Amino acid sequence: MQLLVNALIAGSLAALIAGGLSLVYGTLGVFNLALGQMVLIGGYATWWLHQEIHAPLIVSILFGLGVGALLSWFTFEVFVEPFWKRHRFLPLVTTIALSMMLDGAILLLFEERPRAIMPGLRPPFHIAGANISGIQITLILLTLLLLAGFAYILHSTPFGRKIRAVVQHPHAAESLGIAAPKLNRIIFILSGVLAACGGIYQGIDQNLSPTLAFAITIKAYAAIIAGGKGHLWGAILCAYLIALLEQLAIGVPWFGGAYIGAGYQQTVALFFIIAFLLFRPTGIFTSRARTA
């Protein structure tokens, strides 16, 4: 039971980030390798307002989200929009450049030492044999709510239908009066906001340090590749699945009582994903044949 809770905590973080990424990848087909840095900057901005300026938590979180939105807007205009129509792999290079700049900016602005948005201990509850703190429950529920909201918008509203139309055929969509460029921009900014949510989650639940960015990016990509290209639900479920596999890998005794060394935690989880993709190369959750 505790393992499930642990997986929920870790998975929610990964799902937030992978969800945003899946949106962008599904609609624009663009790789954003500065994602991890966007996550960190959202978290750091919140930390800064809450811990240094002593603003209330809610204000700080909104500020963090705002910074995330602004940053992703800037990223889109400068590093993605001018390039991605010429070749969809060009932003791969430009966002790597951006990620390096942001790495430097994080070090300059927030220093090297680790930061926590809400330092201190949270008294845990005991629910069905598992320990979980109120803040963790809140974080998990908010994440699920947010992701469900996004999925609902995408799959069940006129706005979502427009987005999917742009994905399927941008020119046809435009000739029907859908402003494709505007939609792309909105989607990119939304993914930035989700990334900032991830950073705030990380900053509240654990702590932020400048070297986390690349690991975050890799995990999010693993989730969207396993989930199927542009399949929002798939990416989210896979984020949780990877987290659960990681916990199971080291949390239960395998092969007659021996535990797998904790150093192999990620290896085992990603190995499962690889094995799965061998049999279903299009992703684990693409059976309904509807993407984006």
Partner 1 sequence: MAKRFLSLLSLGLLTLTACQTGGSGDEGPLKVGFIGPLTGDAAPYGVDMLNGTKMAVEEINTAGGVNGRMIELVVEDGRCTGADSASAAQKLVNVDKVIAIIGGGCSGETLAAAPIAEAASVVMISPLSSSPDVTMAGDFIFRDYPSDALKTKAMASLLREEEFTKLAMISENTDFAQAFRESLKQDLGVDMVVFDEVVDPGTKDFRTLITRLKDLEFDIFFPNGQSDAAIAAMMQQLREQGLLQQAISHDVADSITLGTLAPEAVEGMYIVNVPTAGEGGEFQKTFDQKFGGAQATIAFAAHSYDATKVLAKAIGTVGTAGTAIRDYLYSMPAFSGVVGNFTFDRNGDVVGIPYGLKAFKEGAIVKVRDLPVLP
> Which residues have C-beta within 8 Å of that of residue 283, sequence separation ≥ 6?
225, 226, 227, 228, 229, 231, 234, 277
Q: Is 247 in the site for partner 1 (CB under 8 A)?
A: yes
Q: Does 272 bind partner 1 (CB under 8 A)?
A: no
**Applying CB under 8 A, does 124 fall inside the site for partner 1?**
yes
Note whether 256 binds partner 1 by CB under 8 A: no
Candidate residues 113, 258, 275, 289; the one interacting with partner 1 per rule CB under 8 A:
113
For residues 201 and 6, what is the distance between their CA atoms, to the nearest angstrom? 14
By the rule CB under 8 A, 56 interacts with partner 1: no
Pick 133 or 291: Cβ nearer partner 1: 133
State which amino acid sits at residue 188.
Answer: F
Q: Between residues 80 and 250, which has the closer beta carbon with respect to partner 1?
A: 250
53 is a site residue for partner 1 (CB under 8 A): no
268 forms part of the interface with partner 1 (CB under 8 A): no
Draw the binding track, 190-229, toward partner 1 (x: CB under 8 A; -: no contact).
------------x---xx-xxxx--x--------------
Pairing of strands 130-133, 124-127: antiparallel
Contacts of residue 83, Cβ cutoff 8 Å, sequence gap at least 6: 90, 91, 94
Q: Which of 177, 256, 263, 281 binds partner 1 (CB under 8 A)?
A: 263
**By the rule CB under 8 A, 46 interacts with partner 1:** no
The contact mask relative to partner 1 for 68-107 (x = CB under 8 A, - = no) is -----------------------------------x---x
- 9 or 189, CB closer to partner 1? 9
Which residue's CB is nearer to partner 1, number 100 or number 176?
100
Region of 283 (left: φ > 0; alpha: ψ -120 to 50; beta: rest) is left
Give residues in contact with partner 1 (CB under 8 A): 2-3, 6, 9-10, 103, 107, 111-116, 119-122, 124, 131, 133, 202, 206-207, 209-212, 215, 246-247, 250-251, 259, 261-263, 265-266
